[in-house]
Amino acid sequence: MPTTTVFRNNRTQAVRLTAEARLPEGVTRVQVRVVGRDRVISPLENSWDSFFLGGPAVTDDFLPQRAEQAQTPRESLDE
């Protein structure tokens, strides 16, 4: 696994990526997620929002006859 160094630039930290870890061409913004002591860097266009919003829409025949579920009787909240 390639390693690299962390350096300071004014009051921020920067990491120089190795050639093997280079981001795809055209990526100008990234999302950084903190997972314990790890930092996960992902191209912003690959976030979950863009995955769900940018994907293909469902077709008209998706779940055409969705079964209605019977409601469970519940106690009234009125006193």
The segment with the largest mean pLDDT, out of 31-40, 49-58, 61-70, is: 31-40
What SS3 state is found at 63? Answer: coil
Sequence-ordered list of residues with C-beta below 8 angstroms from that of 54, at least 6 positions apart, any chain: none
pLDDT, tens only, 23-41:
988 888 898 999 999 999 9
Q: What is the DSSP letter of 31?
A: E
pLDDT band at 47 (very low <50, low <70, confident <90, very high): low
Q: What is the rounded CA–CA span in Å between residue 52 and residue 33? A: 19
- Report which of 49, 29, 31, 48 is spatially closest to residue 40, judged by C-alpha positions: 31
